[in-house]
Structure 1
């Protein structure tokens, strides 16, 4: 590898980071971190465990975890602070990983966009597979680790008089996170986002004490310090990997119906970084170049659920052993789902 080519790869990586910062930080990651900080500090542990705890009936915890991502337009990286907040509050590893897989895969915008661009068969298959596979992954993670699960250390909460206003703040933050995916015009987006932010700030200072707001900001900053550096490092190397692994080579190996083509599709998607909705036009281009429909579904499932930055942070939050188990499960179930879908289309 010549020095010039090495410099070229470094520039590609830096360009990838620059594009990521420009597209995701202000309108995606910033509100996601504040939302996660609110979950971790303002919601009592009991309120989280009511739906996500290991002791909650499985039909409740897994159902909520599997479908709660439908209103969130989040990618595999933006979901990380939300997952970290839920997991840190003591959610069972099963429901937490169910949410981690389903949230970026089944948001309404992604499903509708998939159906419009790639066909309604792939759109419906993606939605149904994401829901059922997320539950399967969560149950598998719980079966492996729940008995050995150590209770997470919780931060200070204010359980003596839990705020009835916390849900309203949660919904406002959620609206700030989702609006950029609904409104594409910067002018109209500013007209909606600025009042939403102003109202959120005003009500936060009105409803919460300085101690509670300080706890919220401290938890948000903790998540930023833990996740953001690894995220940017991962985005840097993901950009280089995409440069070294051009689409033509991927198409060469995922154009058939062999088991290996589905496996390669899942692995390639797991290593790539797909921001919200960008996986659809990329996979659409690959299908036009000859990629099979089954491998396309495998990529649609593995891509939003995993990426190189995502895998680094997951291993940091859950631990290397649990992180590797989750990554392996995502790759395997995505491959199997693609195989089943491709078989019934033949």
Structure 2
């Protein structure tokens, strides 16, 4: 009888914890869903009215200007760590320099209109601005570093375009965005339709699952990670940033999916610097993509690529903590629960629509 009561108590505890995680995740989804949908709409508009060859035509050669252009163009483009690889391979094949390719590889997955919109929903306005700005300068620094490294190489290694099949096998799913090109439709309506199909088809399929994973993980963090644990083990701002680097560099997480995770950690007391480190390093680096990147720009350039991301993320984290402190904002309480109140009917409708759209995008298409 006692064993039965014990088992029943354990089961009730597990069920209560599961319900708490789902409720916390649902609240995050309510807060972010309207902005996620808005971000995808803007992403579709960019895809519809920004010609595919526009980017490639401005990234040729190895000049510093091409590196700046690559960083600037990559910021709004909605490609994740998966989709940017074949896109970068195409740019390189069309004549883009390694510095420009490196810059594009960093600025594109670290930011995007969808992730900026979610940052506005879940983080504070200051972090929403800082995140793409730091990503932009990180991309430029890495691009210049790779370009300088290439100029000082004694021997020239023949460049071989990576096999697209290998790219998709190692770095992304079969629904990877930008893995194929369709003929350009004529007329505004045709372009708009194509853009929306891309945004709520390929792009949503590519990151929708990861977005929900990030939201679910944020629910787990909200329930099981107490402020006391953060205060005891992650109160040192430098140690917490190093820990975020150790977690984020090998982990595959897109910019949009990383945002609710960072928000959940911030609500528990993680400093803005540590949150920024996670937001910057996670989307631009992961164990699967590094192998493809090494084929794109070479092993030595890849080492430089990762090193610059790590150094710039850490320095940016220190700088952001100092900025918040100078503004009189506590780095352990910079994000408060009051910024994440439960949404109304619009938020609920947006959450339900997003769930349906992601489920539809991820279902296998009928042959």
Fold shared by both chains (TM-score > 0.5): yes
Find the counterpart in structure 2 of residue 118 from structure 1: 123
Among 183, 200, 206, the alignment partner of 1:180 is 200
Larger Rg: 2
Among 43, 46, 58, the alignment partner of 1:51 is 58
Secondary structure of the corresponding residue to residue 51 of structure 1: coil
Q: CA RMSD in A?
A: 4.1
- For the 8 Å contact 2:237–2:271, the answer to whether it is kept is no
Asked whether 1:308 is paired with 2:328, we answer: no
* TM-score using structure 2 length: 0.54
- Taking the aligned partners of 2:232 and 2:109, their CA distance within structure 1 comes to 26
- For the 8 Å contact 1:267–1:331, the answer to whether it is kept is no
Q: CA deviation at 1:152?
A: 3.8
Gapped runs of 5+ residues in structure 1? 1-27, 29-34, 156-165, 187-234, 236-241
Task: Output one character per residue of 1:28-64: Cα deviation in whole Å (capped at 9) or x when no partner.
Answer: 9xxxxxx9xxx9xx96xxx877522235x523x1232
Q: CA deviation at 1:101?
A: 0.3
* TM-score using structure 1 length: 0.57
Find the counterpart in structure 1 of residue 85 from structure 2: 80
Secondary structure of the corresponding residue to residue 270 of structure 2: coil
Find the counterpart in structure 2 of residue 91 from structure 1: 96
Asked whether 1:274 is paired with 2:253, we answer: yes
Task: Output one character per residue of 1:271-310: Cα deviation in whole Å (capped at 9) or x when no partner.
Answer: 2221351111111112222211110011111111112222
- Taking the aligned partners of 2:303 and 2:193, their CA distance within structure 1 comes to 31
Gapped runs of 5+ residues in structure 2? 1-39, 41-46, 163-181, 186-190, 211-216, 326-367
* Counterparts in 2 of 1:48 and 1:74: CA distance versus 1, 3 Å: closer
Task: Output one character per residue of 1:65-90: Cα deviation in whole Å (capped at 9) or x when no partner.
Answer: 11222443222122111112212333
Superposed, 1:1-346 pairs within 5 Å as 50-55=57-62, 57-59=63-65, 61-148=66-153, 152=159, 168=184, 175=195, 178-180=198-200, 255-346=234-325
- For the 8 Å contact 2:237–2:274, the answer to whether it is kept is no
